[in-house]
Amino acid sequence: MVYNPDARYAHKRSMLNLSYSQQRRFHYLMLGALLLIATIIFAFPFYWLLISSLKSRDQIFSDTMQFIPDPLIWQNFKNIFRETQIQRAFFNSATIAAGNVLLTLFFCSLAGFAFAKYRNAPGHNVLFAMVMGTMMIPGAVTMIPVFLVLTKLHMINSYWALIIPGAANAFGIFLMRQYIASFVPDDLLAAARIDGCSEFGIYWRIVLPISIPPLAALGIFALIGSWNNLMSAFIFMRTEDMYTLPLWVYIMQGDQTRIDYGIVMAGGLITALPLIIAFLFFQRGFIQGMTSGAMKQ
């Protein structure tokens, strides 16, 4: 029998390759298991909210945990529309969120374009540092000054009280500035100026169409922040017809002895569903905008 060292080494290499592929497969399985566990942990509160909205009060406070209600109590959703003003609260939240998202996208993208492409403007660095410095200030610190300003402007108990404050925020400006500086070439803007396009026309016709990914990400953030804004709604909204959904759910829990937890759970589910649906529709743009906007220029 003739000894062949090449065959021996080839056999060892194949065994090493097999071992490496098995390790990779094991790592992927472990990663998938961890992601599955994390998904279950994060999704469980929403699932419990869902099934609790289909239970009676006795089922909710039962000693035995029911993961599938039996029977399903659809009466909670009928009662919430029949006995409460949740339709008005939903309209208020939708109007405020739409206005806040539109203003946020406009002001943050416009400011981001200015900070990204007008670096030689007087005071550019000082202004940008001041904008970034506002991220260090807690929102609770500015709540009283904002309330006093809105009172002077007679905007208390109006939609504008929740739309205007925070429409131009430092995070949104920074996100748009980073993306525009990285992905909008200066040569393209120079060519537009040579063709006679105005500065606002450059922003509207060139910069905005290119900046769809960060706009989608910023829109999701603005929608979540505006829709879940309980503190400002609690301070600025004075009459029941101006309540937003989070404020309505909070007010419904006021009297612990008379509270109908089935209706409250149904209201919480109705409050959470629009955000979940919006994220499912725009998640691709959200992820793309966050990853591309984080790149260095």
pLDDT of res. 14: 57
Q: Are 107 and 168 in contact (CB under 8 A)?
A: yes
Report how far residue 147's alpha carbon sits from residue 232's, in angstroms, rounded to the nearest whole number.
9
Cα 177 to the chain's mean position, in Å? 19
In a domain, 28, yes or no: yes
**CATH number of the domain enclosing 181:** 1.10.3720.10
Report how far residue 295's alpha carbon sits from residue 264's, in angstroms, rounded to the nearest whole number.
43
Q: Are residues 164 and 251 in the same domain?
A: yes
Q: Are residues 114 and 253 in the same domain?
A: yes
Q: Are residues 133 and 33 in the same domain?
A: no
Look up the pTM and report it.
0.83
Q: Are residues 97 and 38 in the same domain?
A: no
Angle, alpha carbons 28-32-37 (nearest 5°): 150
Q: Are residues 16 and 147 in the same domain?
A: no
pLDDT of res. 57: 79
In a domain, 63, yes or no: no
Q: Are residues 31 and 99 in the same domain?
A: no
Q: Are residues 129 and 162 in the same domain?
A: yes
Q: Are residues 125 and 159 in the same domain?
A: yes
Q: Are residues 47 and 83 in the same domain?
A: no
Q: Are residues 17 and 118 in the same domain?
A: no
pLDDT of res. 8: 54
In a domain, 235, yes or no: yes
State the total domains in the chain.
2
pLDDT in tens, the chain (297 residues): 454 555 555 555 555 555 667 777 878 888 999 999 999 999 898 898 888 888 887 788 777 777 887 778 888 888 888 888 899 999 999 999 999 999 999 999 999 999 999 988 898 899 999 999 998 888 888 899 999 999 999 999 999 999 999 888 999 999 999 999 989 999 999 999 999 999 999 999 999 999 998 998 899 999 999 999 999 999 999 899 999 999 998 888 766 656 788 888 888 899 999 888 888 887 777 677 666 644 444
Q: Are residues 97 and 219 in the same domain?
A: yes
Cα 138 to the chain's mean position, in Å? 19
pLDDT of res. 297: 43
In a domain, 114, yes or no: yes
Cite the beta strand spans of the chain per DSSP E.
none
pLDDT of res. 17: 58
Q: Are residues 160 and 38 in the same domain?
A: no
Distances (CA, A) of 203 to 22, 24, 210: 52, 47, 10
Show the domain range for 23: 5-52
